[in-house]
C-alpha cells in the first residue's frame, strides 16, 4: 500500500498521553507490555483500531508498552482535546514525578537499545 505509514512507539509506565484525536484512522498492535485504551486492557498480540476523529488516550501498564502504529496516511493532524489548565498541570506534574523512574526504565521488549 503506497500510503501505509508504520511507527514504533514506546510509552514508559504511567506516561500521561493527553486526550487527543487524529484526522486519520490508526491501528495499534501491542508487541510488548500492556496498555489500556478506554476500558480495554491490551496485551502482547492485541490490537485496536482507532477511527479518525475519535478522542482517545493510552494508559501504559506497569512495565510500559511498545506497539506499532499503522495508518493509511503518511501524514495526519493531531487535535488535543483537553480544555483546562488543571488537566495540563496534572500531565506536567506526572512527568516531573516520574522523571527519575523513567531514566532507569527499560522498554519491555527492547526493540530499540537506547542505552
Query: pTM above the 0.75 mark?
Result: yes
* Residue-averaged pLDDT of the chain: 89
Q: Tell me the three-class secondary structure of 75-89, residue by residue.
A: CCCEEECCCCHHHHH
**Segment 59-85 mean pLDDT:** 89
pLDDT for residue 57: 92
Model pLDDT, residue 115: 54
pLDDT of residue 97: 95
CB 51 within 8 A of CB 25: yes
Confidence of residue 83 (pLDDT cuts 50, 70, 90): confident
Q: What is the pLDDT of residue 74?
A: 73
Taking alpha carbons only, the member of 44, 48, 41 closest to residue 33 is: 44
How many Cβ atoms from other residues are within 10 Å of residue 37's Cβ? 16
Q: CA 44 to CA 64: how far, in whole Å?
A: 12
- Position 112 scores a pLDDT of 63
Flag whether pLDDT at 114 surpasses 80: no
Amino acid at each position: 500500500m503506497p500510503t501505509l505509514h508504520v511507527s514504533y512507539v514506546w510509552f514508559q509506565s504511567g506516561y500521561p498521553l493527553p486526550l487527543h484525536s487524529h484526522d486519520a484512522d490508526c491501528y495499534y498492535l501491542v508487541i510488548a507490555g500492556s496498555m489500556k485504551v478506554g476500558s480495554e486492557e491490551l496485551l502482547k498480540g492485541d490490537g485496536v483500531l482507532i477511527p479518525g476523529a475519535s478522542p482517545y488516550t493510552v494508559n501504559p501498564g506497569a512495565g510500559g508498552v511498545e506497539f506499532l502504529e499503522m495508518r493509511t496516511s503518511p501524514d495526519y493532524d493531531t487535535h488535543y482535546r483537553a480544555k483546562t489548565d488543571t488537566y495540563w498541570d496534572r500531565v506536567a506534574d506526572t512527568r516531573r514525578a516520574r522523571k527519575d523512574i523513567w531514566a532507569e526504565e527499560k522498554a519491555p521488549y527492547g526493540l530499540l537499545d537506547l542505552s
